[in-house]
Amino acid sequence: FAPKLLAGRRLLVTAGPTFEAMDPVRGITNLSSGKMGFALARAAREAGAEVTLVAGPVHLTTPRGVRRVDVQSAQEMLVAVEQHIQDAGVFMATAAVADWRPAQQSGRKIKKDGSGQPPVLDFVENPDILATLARSARALEGALFCVGFSAESHDLLANATAKRARKGVPLLVGNIGPATFGRDDNALLLVDADGHRELPRASKRVLAQQLIAEVAARLPPLPS
């Protein structure tokens, strides 16, 4: 009998893109499918954790036994994470959060005005959900283990190492190209305080199981 790696733990995962509205029918988003985050939620649940999955707009079914909260924008994602993070011991930020949102959201559909001039949109920066959580009191006390992800087109190790420091997380996971969005497989680069190691190309399901084992091995013991 092997005890489940995450028995007695609570885990919160963000997944998918965010959608930043400019008017009631349009907005900006990205090509994240949510597959890696959903695979992690499933693997964590199978490892015995109580799992909350905060998902942007995706077309995926909720893994069995996982509590799912759907959101649209980065601001809604931050609120949902803050509402559900209490008692969680692990936060995994796989969502591809939009860095910016339109500064104004028109209550009505923006129409062509006949002048031939397209509308000019101003943007404001979105909150950094991962950095916010990594700076929270529970993370600083070591009670919340935060994991960040990184999709880079080049210099993955250097970028992932810098991002780990910038976000203030103990573990940063880089997607090793080619572009992983929507694919069923991936390869990962794990960067932590001791250095880096690679999880070779495999299905997102298998990688999620391996990553959950890596996270479990880094957690402080549960209070007895």
When the beta carbons of 115 and 153 are compared against ligand C5P, the nearer one is: 153
- The 116-155 contact track toward ligand C5P, x by CB under 6 A, reads ----------x-xxx-----------------xxx-----
Q: Which residue has the tokens 């695979």?
A: 39
Task: Decide if 30 is catalytic.
Answer: yes
Q: How far is the CB of 127 from ligand C5P (least distance, A)?
A: 6
Binder to ligand C5P among 36, 40, 74, 211 (CB under 6 A)?
74
**Catalytic pick among 30, 126, 159, 186:** 30
When the beta carbons of 14 and 209 are compared against ligand C5P, the nearer one is: 14
Residue 28 is assigned to a ligand binding site: no
When the beta carbons of 110 and 151 are compared against ligand C5P, the nearer one is: 151
215 binds ligand C5P (CB under 6 A): no
The interface with ligand C5P within residues 39-58 (CB under 6 A) comprises none
Residue ranges binding ligand C5P (CB under 6 A): 14, 74, 93-95, 97, 126, 128-130, 148-150, 163
Known binding residues for CTP are: 99, 109, 127-130, 149, 163, 167
